[in-house]
Amino acid sequence: MTPRITSFSAPEPRDVGKFTILAHANVQFGEMEVCGVALVWSPTIGLSALPPITPQYGTPRIVNWKAGSKLGIDLAKRMADLYQHLGHTLPKGQKEDEASGLYRVLGEPT
């Protein structure tokens, strides 16, 4: 299953405590479109793709991914590329090679 980004927005970065939200995307997973996938950055874990979380129901299991999964790494890279294409700069200390370990995923199955 290769996710397809159907829309992408990168307003001003927003600090929400443990991480900074850089951008949001709607992502097509097969026949289902998921709104609110976030590109986030933290000095401790680097760049990540975070699945949407709803306060009442938690993270939908069908779109959740494990830390370090290929899906999460690929999605974070693609979102970072779009972020830079729009003229934004990734936070300092960010590298673009997968081996650096900076493209990690925050979401864990609930």
DSSP string for residues in 23-54: EEEEEEETTEEEEEEEEEEETTTEEEEE---B
- Does the residue 64 lie in any domain? yes
Pairing of strands 4-9, 32-42: unpaired
How high is the pLDDT of residue 7? 94
- Does the residue 108 lie in any domain? no
CA distance 77 to 30: 19
* Domain count within the chain: 1
Comparison of pLDDT for 61 and 10, the residue scoring more? 10
- Does the residue 91 lie in any domain? yes
CA distance 35 to 42: 22
User: Which candidate, 107, 19, 99, places its Cα nearest to that of 66?
Assistant: 107
Distances from the Cα of 100 to the Cα of 1, 45, 47, 94, angstroms:
25, 11, 11, 9
pTM of the model as a whole = 0.71
Provide the pLDDT confidence category of residue 29 given band limits of 50, 70 and 90: confident
Comparison of pLDDT for 5 and 53, the residue scoring more? 5
Q: pLDDT tens, 9-20?
A: 998 899 888 888
- Does the residue 12 lie in any domain? yes
- Does the residue 21 lie in any domain? yes
- Does the residue 47 lie in any domain? yes
- Does the residue 107 lie in any domain? no
Domain that holds residue 13: 4-100
Taking 60 as the threshold, does the pLDDT of residue 102 lie above it? no
- Does the residue 35 lie in any domain? yes
Q: pLDDT tens, 64-90?
A: 665 456 777 788 889 999 999 999 988
